[in-house]
């Protein structure tokens, strides 16, 4: 059983690295097996298809993310608007670390996959949408609390949270295209200026 868990997580880790640093279509099952030193038969025992693997990679990354810097950023002990600064800082340092190591900014795995596969795979699209919606809900709670404490004037918290998530993905996209994590640091703080009013 220990051996099984090891093999599965070795496949997962390898696929996550390769999908993130390149793309989903560009990385085949054979390359993943070779890099993870796993036989194809063993691969298909854990993941009947490449899509099943991608679902597990997204799940795995979303868990790490939710319990890692997203949990830290959206810590209820921080004043609401400071959580947004924390989130931007975390995205910046994380992208910068990868750039320093590999010379290339990888961007957000979820954003990368969303643009690559959304028109072609409804199952993966739905999974990525669910991950985005969960993150949006953290922004939403933050904006609701910011309204309660008077840190911001009344606004449409759900729509503003969507706007903030979209902006975060957008600045990571632009930073990746320029291969320059400083774009995140420069543009990031403006996330706090986004406002969508309530409809009457």
In SS3 terms, the chain reads as CHHHHHHHHHHHHHHHHHHHHCCCCCCCHHHHHHHHCCCHHHHHHHCCCHHHHHHHHHHHHHHHHHHCHHHHHCCCCCCHHHHHHHHHHHHHHHHHHHHHHHCCCCCCHHHHHHHHHCCCCHHHHHHHHHHHHHHHHHHHHHHHHHHHCCCCCCCCHHHHHHHHHHHHHHHHHHHHHHCCCHHHHHHHHHHHHCCCCCCC
String marking each residue 157-196 x if it binds its own copies according to CB under 8 A: --xx-xx-xxxxxxx-xx-xxxx---x--xx-xx--xxxx
**Number of residues forming the site for its own copies (CB under 8 A):** 48
CB of residue 137 to its own copies, shortest distance in Å: 14
Q: How many CB atoms lie within 10 A of CB 169?
A: 20
Q: In the set 26, 51, 69, 153, which binds its own copies (CB under 8 A)?
A: 26
Of 8 and 24, CB closest to its own copies: 24
Please tell me whether residue 42 binds its own copies under the rule CB under 8 A. Answer: no
Q: Is 107 in the site for its own copies (CB under 8 A)?
A: yes
Rule CB under 8 A: is residue 198 a binding residue for its own copies? no
Cβ nearer to its own copies, comparing 4 with 102: 102
Q: What's the CA gap between 117 and 139, in Å, rounded?
A: 25
Q: Is 23 in the site for its own copies (CB under 8 A)?
A: yes
Query: Shortest Cβ distance from residue 160 to its own copies (Å)?
Result: 8
67 binds its own copies (CB under 8 A): no
| Interaction of residue 58 with its own copies, rule CB under 8 A | no
In the bound state with its own copies, the residue whose beta carbon lies nearer, of 78 and 115, is 115
Residues that bind its own copies (CB under 8 A): 21-23, 25-26, 104-107, 111-112, 114-120, 125, 128-129, 132, 159-160, 162-163, 165-171, 173-174, 176-179, 183, 186-187, 189-190, 193-196
């Amino acid at each position: 059983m220990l051996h099984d868990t090891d093999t599965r997580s070795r496949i997962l880790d390898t696929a996550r690295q390769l999908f993130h640093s390149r793309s989903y279509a560009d990385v085949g099952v054979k390359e993943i097996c070779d890099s993870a030193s796993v036989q194809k038969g063993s691969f298909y025992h854990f993941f009947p298809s490449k899509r099943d693997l991608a679902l597990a990679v997204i799940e795995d990354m979303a868990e790490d993310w939710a319990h890692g810097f997203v949990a830290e950023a959206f810590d209820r002990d921080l004043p609401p608007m400071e959580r947004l600064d924390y989130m931007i800082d975390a995205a910046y340092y994380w992208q910068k670390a990868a750039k320093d190591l590999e010379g290339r900014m990888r961007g957000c795995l979820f954003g990368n996959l969303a643009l690559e596969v959304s028109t072609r795979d409804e199952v993966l699209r739905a999974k990525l949408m669910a991950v985005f919606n969960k993150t949006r809900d953290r922004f939403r709670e933050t904006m609701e609390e910011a309204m309660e404490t008077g840190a911001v004037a009344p606004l449409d918290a759900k729509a503003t949270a969507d706007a903030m998530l979209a902006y975060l993905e957008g600045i990571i996209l632009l930073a990746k295209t320029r291969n320059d994590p400083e774009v995140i640091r420069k543009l990031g703080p403006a996330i706090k200026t986004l406002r969508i009013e309530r409809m009457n």
